[in-house]
Amino acid sequence: MKINIPESSKKRIVIVGGGFGGLKLALKLASRKEYQVVLLDKNNYHQFQPLFYQVAMAGLEPSSIVFPLRKAFQKNKDVYIRVTEVLAVHTDKNQLETSLGICNYDYLVLAIGAETNFFGNEKIARLAIPMKSVSEALFLRNRILSDFEKALSTTDYEERQKLMDIVVVGGGPTGVEVSGALAEMKRYVFPKDYPELNTDEIDIYLLQGADQLLLGMSEESSRKSLEFLTQLGVKVRLNTLVTDFDGEYVHMNNGETIHTSKVIWAAGITGNKLRGVPEGALTRGNRIRVNRFNQVEGLENVFAVGDIAYMEEENYPQGHPQVAQVAMQQATQLANNFRNLHRGQGLLPFSYRDLGSMATIGRNRAVADLPGFKFQGAFAWLIWLLVHLFQILGVKNKVFIFLNWVWNYVTYDQSLRLIIRPRVPKSGEVEVEP
């Protein structure tokens, strides 16, 4: 079966993945109309990863941080969006195998991103809670609230503590932001919602394998983030690796254990796999090796951008950091290179321009490393808010996130404490998958 997309006299670029890289590229190409653009994603929306943790913490609605792909292309007739699973690539035939059928391409761009890395531990993969999609963030929100409800019905002290304590694994931006937000909830939200529980006894642990937090950031930011988290009451353990988790106890490399039902796993990522990508092109972290034009090694018409792409540059001999900025800059450059191709001109090499990085730690506190300018505290927090508000797609999302933030800030209250589950499919019913 062939996917139902009309043939065109233009060459067809197929983009797999509507994340930061894929969406940016599709938007640039769409505006120039030189190619037929096909965008494939398993969801019908683009997700704004930096704010997943606020969904998990009941501060923002999922809908505020995702954006319908079709809405982004309403004015572009020659862009075809298909919600589908991409199963394999056959580079010899210039074909993709998808759940909707075979999709031919003239040029292919893999923007398939990365998934949570459980480092091969299947038990952890099964029992810990990742946070790499808005669905997972929502699952975490439901799980935290459900566990508090369970704690209410538990007369056993140990059992109750197990349900209330939370372990966050990984001291990167996600781990730092989640544990900071949890500390704020412990302080302002849980005592009001659960007067029957002794919420002072909630322990929030942050476990980090390295000897400092926020490894990619400056020494100052690492130090300050540790200080902020400690002030908030988060128990940060550096040089600590999780060796096992059985749903009851977290085992660490120092021989100690923590009794908890909940482990939030933000310890690392690994590139998403796609059958048919040449074995030889895969490198560490399961990334796909590309040249400076984002071309996959040995394949002239296949490209990769963003987290999945591994490109060495003078200043980045070990590849670029896996962040949104790299993905978006590569997408912009690749869009320009497609224009050059269309005009019969040569390709230009990519260079990454680091615009800095930030992380927020609870209310009023953040750390920021901008080029030649590092700062921490309330001002950094304000800048963090503005930068993220500016980056999120859609005027409506911007307005509603801003209002939510003001509301939450003023009331000290994340109000979305709802365990909303989808309807349970009725017996015999097959839910229609897109």
3 state SS for the chain: CECCCCCCCCCEEEEECCCHHHHHHHHHHHHHCCCEEEEEECCCEEECHHHHHHHHCCCCCHHHCEEEHHHHCCCCCCEEEEECCEEEEECCCCEEEECCEEEECCEEEECCCEEECCCCCHHHHHHCEECCCHHHHHHHHHHHHHHHHHHHCCCCHHHHHHHHCEEEECCCHHHHHHHHHHHHHHHHCHHHHCCCCCHHHCCEEEECCCCCCCCCCCHHHHHHHHHHHHHCCCEEECCCCEEEECCCEEEECCCCEEECCEEEECCCEEECCCECCCHHHEEHHHEEEECCCCEECCCCCEEECHHHEECCECCECCCCCCCHHHHHHHHHHHHHHHHHHHCCCCCCCCCCCCCCEEEECCCCCEEEEECCEEEEEHHHHHHHHHHHHHHCCCHHHHHHHHHHHHHHHHHCCCCCCCCCCCCCCCCCCCCCCC
Q: Which stretch binds its own copies (CB under 8 A): 141-149, 224-232, 267-275, 286-294?
A: 141-149
428 touches its own copies (CB under 8 A): yes
What b-and-e string marks burial along 136-164, b requiring 16 or more CB atoms within 10 Å of the CB? bbbbbbbbbbebbeebeeeeeeeebbbbb
In angstroms, what is the minimal distance from the CB of 16 to its own copies?
Answer: 17
Residues 77, 65 contacting (CB under 8 angstroms): no
Q: Find the binder of its own copies among 127, 168, 226, 269 (CB under 8 A).
A: 127
399 touches its own copies (CB under 8 A): yes
Q: Which stretch binds its own copies (CB under 8 A): 152-160, 170-178, 294-302, 309-317?
A: 152-160
Nearer to its own copies, 66 or 183 (CB): 66
Q: Which stretch binds its own copies (CB under 8 A): 210-218, 280-288, 343-351, 408-416?
A: 408-416
87 touches its own copies (CB under 8 A): no
Query: Could you tell me the two tokens for 194?
Result: 């659960």
236 touches its own copies (CB under 8 A): no
244 touches its own copies (CB under 8 A): no
In angstroms, what is the minimal distance from the CB of 429 to its own copies?
Answer: 6
Q: How many residues bind its own copies (CB under 8 A)?
A: 70
Residues with catalytic function: 177
Q: Find the binder of its own copies among 249, 352, 400, 402 (CB under 8 A).
A: 400
396 touches its own copies (CB under 8 A): yes
Q: Which stretch binds its own copies (CB under 8 A): 108-116, 128-136, 337-345, 347-355?
A: 128-136
135 touches its own copies (CB under 8 A): yes
In angstroms, what is the minimal distance from the CB of 211 to its own copies?
Answer: 32
395 vs 19: CA distance, rounded Å: 18
Nearer to its own copies, 156 or 279 (CB): 156
Nearer to its own copies, 100 or 359 (CB): 100
9 touches its own copies (CB under 8 A): no
3 touches its own copies (CB under 8 A): yes
Give the Å distances, CA to CA, from 191 to 182, 359, 417.
13, 26, 13
Closest CA to 397 of 26, 47, 136: 47
Q: Which stretch binds its own copies (CB under 8 A): 153-161, 175-183, 248-256, 297-305?
A: 153-161
Q: Find the binder of its own copies among 94, 104, 121, 142 (CB under 8 A).
A: 142
Q: Which stretch binds its own copies (CB under 8 A): 269-277, 285-293, 356-364, 416-424?
A: 416-424
145 touches its own copies (CB under 8 A): yes
Residues 256, 262 contacting (CB under 8 angstroms): no
Q: Find the binder of its own copies among 259, 285, 394, 402 (CB under 8 A).
A: 394
Q: Between residue 329 and residue 348, which ones bind its own copies under the rule CB under 8 A? A: none
146 touches its own copies (CB under 8 A): yes
Q: Between residue 27 and residue 86, which ones bind its own copies under the rule CB under 8 A? A: 43-45, 61-63, 66, 68, 70-71, 74, 77, 80, 82-84
Give me the residues that bind its own copies (CB under 8 A), please: 3-4, 43-45, 61-63, 66, 68, 70-71, 74, 77, 80, 82-84, 100-101, 125-127, 133-136, 138-139, 142-143, 145-147, 149-150, 152-155, 192-196, 261, 394, 396, 399-400, 403, 407, 411, 413, 415-423, 426-429, 432-434
